[in-house]
Every structure is written in structure tokens, then in C-alpha cells.
Amino acid sequence: MATIIDGKKVSIELLKELQKKTDKLQKKPSIAVILANNDDASRIYVNSKEKQANILGYKSMVYKFEKTVKQEELIELINKLNNDSNVNAILLQLPLFNHLNENELIELINPIKDVDGFHPLNTGKLYSNLNPFAVCCTPKGIIKLLDYYKIDITGKNTLVIGRSNIVGKPMAALLTNRDATVTLAHSKSENLKEITKTKDIIISATGCPKLIKKDMVKQNSVIIDVGIVKQNNGKLMGDVDFENVKDKVSYITPVPGGVGPMTIACLMENTYELFLKQN
């Protein structure tokens, strides 16, 4: 039976440390969140981000927009937030309404306020193994989980499934920077099972429920599940068939309670770190 990686517990420890450091500050970090979509999951994420920021004593502002919002309004808002010295972190929740140009808005965010690390300057620094102002929260949280459980990364055969800018690509970069051998697979990859079977660490971020089965994984491998899809019965389902896989591997993350809480904790840490860099 595998060790279940307890992301909730690790995130609480991280947040406790952050609370201690934040309590010592006279002025508190602040985060502005822009929500321009109708997606239920995004609303839930944004609410939890706001709740956690308030617990830490951060100032948090959420700007919610209707479907009629124009690109120009968001440009104006980001310019205003960039120029406001009371705002330390800007988060543009993705995805956006279809008519909006995501890349233009991400590039407009001042890189030192880019709490997600999505700006090309920050991704460029990440891919060059230089110091970004902030590193994308989910991949950063996953590295913290691996380190917490003392899971070796150096030289390991690792597989990231999913090539999104939010998880897959930055995850592959972080693993490469930590001297892993990295394969990046995605929806067009042929013979996925042949790829998964030889890997020491698999990080799956596809959003395809129960994609990863027992016969696809190597004995004693480490399985990190980033997928989270709400089923019709309201149950949250990951990319990994947890019950089927858990007896074959050495470590596995549950859904929920694995990667999710780490994303929020890392967002809070990024906000704090941006605040320090600006002050």
C-alpha cells in the first residue's frame, strides 16, 4: 500500500510559517484577482484564494466581470493595478471569456506583480533556470510535496502528462532544473501506456477521469494527480484511478486533498515574496 501524500497537511504547515512571517510585517501584502469568465470551478478557486488571503491578513480585491466585458476594460484595469503601489500581486484567473485575448493581458501584467509566474519574462527565466519573480503555483506546490516526502528527483525518469502553460510546461521545466530526465506527453502522444510504464514519477494534468490505471504504472513509482473534474454525482475525480493504482505504487496523491491545497498555499507564498521584492 502506497504512502498517501497529504497535501492538506503540508499546505497547513506552509501556511502556518507564512502566517508567522506575515504577522511580523507592519504593512501587509495585497493581491488583486481578476475573474472574467462564467466557469463554476474558477469561482470556487477564486473564493478559496480570497478566503485564504483574508485569513493571513492580506488585503485582497476581486474584480468580477460579466460576459459583456471588453478587452479595453481589462487593459485599463491591469494598467491601474500595475501603477498602484498598494497592489503587490495581480492574478488573472484563467480561462477568460472566449472573446478576450489572454496573451495580451498576461503580457501587460508587470512581471514583478505576476503572482502566477505566467508572464513571458517569468516563464523565460524559469526555462533558463534563472530566478523568476514568481513560479507557477501548481508546479511549485508539487515540487514542495516531493521534497517534503523526500522523494528523489535527480536523475529520475519523470513523466508530465499535459502541456498547458499553467501546469505541464512549467512542471517539466522545474523537473529539468532539478536534474530529472523529463518526458512531456500530451493528448496527441501515441502509445501513452508504453510511456507511463517505465517512469519513476508521473505527474498527470489532463482532466481525463481515471485515465491512469494499474497496468500503466511501474511498481513502486510515484503518482501525482493534478486532474480534478466534478462528476454528475458531485464527487471530485482525478486523472488517476486511485483505488486501482494505490497498491502498486510507493506514493500517490489523493483527489481532493493532494495537489489542490498546495496551489493555494503557493499562491499565498508568491504574494508574500512579491511583496518583499517590492519593498
CB of 78 to ligand GUN, least distance (A): 13
Q: In Å, what is the CA distance from 52 to each residue of 163, 197, 265?
A: 28, 38, 8
Known catalytic residue at 215: no
Is position 94 an interface residue for ligand GUN (rule: CB under 6 A)?
yes
DSSP string, 155-206: T-EEEEE---TTTHHHHHHHHHHTT-EEEEE-TT-S-HHHHHTT-SEEEE--
Number of residues that bind ligand GUN (CB under 6 A): 9
Known catalytic residue at 9: no
Known catalytic residue at 80: no
Tabulate helix, strand, coil % of the chain (nearest 5): 45, 15, 40
Is position 180 an interface residue for ligand GUN (rule: CB under 6 A)?
no
- Residue 170 or 209: the one with the smaller Cβ distance to ligand GUN is 170
Which of 85-93, 142-150, 188-196, 211-219 is the region at the interface with ligand GUN (rule: CB under 6 A)? 85-93
Is position 53 an interface residue for ligand GUN (rule: CB under 6 A)?
no
The closest residue (CB) to ligand GUN is 94
- Residue 15 and residue 262: Cα distance in Å, rounded? 10
Q: Which of 60, 123, 138, 271 binds ligand GUN (CB under 6 A)?
A: 138
What single letter denotes the amino acid at residue 87? V
Nearest-10 crossing angle of helices 120-127, 168-177: 40
Contacts with ligand GUN, residue ranges (CB under 6 A) = 91-94, 116, 137-138, 166, 263
Among all residues, which ones are annotated catalytic?
A: 49, 93, 116
